[in-house]
Amino acid sequence: MDYLKIGNYIRNLRKSKDLTQKELADKLGISFQAVSKWEKGVSQS
């Protein structure tokens, strides 16, 4: 699985909704650090 492609997809969707990483994290009930890691392809959890 290409985690960088997934991260780019998440980033593009987030930006298309004009959300910050923190705003997306708050909506999902997770930390903004988790969103950052996803977008960088560092973490999958």
**8 A C-beta contact, residue 38 and residue 6:** yes
Mean pLDDT of the region 11-30:
98
pLDDT at 30 over 60: yes
pTM comes to 0.84
Q: For residue 6, is pLDDT > 80? A: yes
For the chain, the 3-state helix, strand and coil shares in percent, each to the nearest 5, are 70, 0, 30
> Does the pLDDT at position 45 exceed 70?
no
Determine the 3-state secondary structure of 18 from DSSP.
Answer: coil
pLDDT higher than threshold 90 for residue 34: yes
Mean pLDDT, the chain, integer: 94
> Looking at residue 40, what is its pLDDT?
95
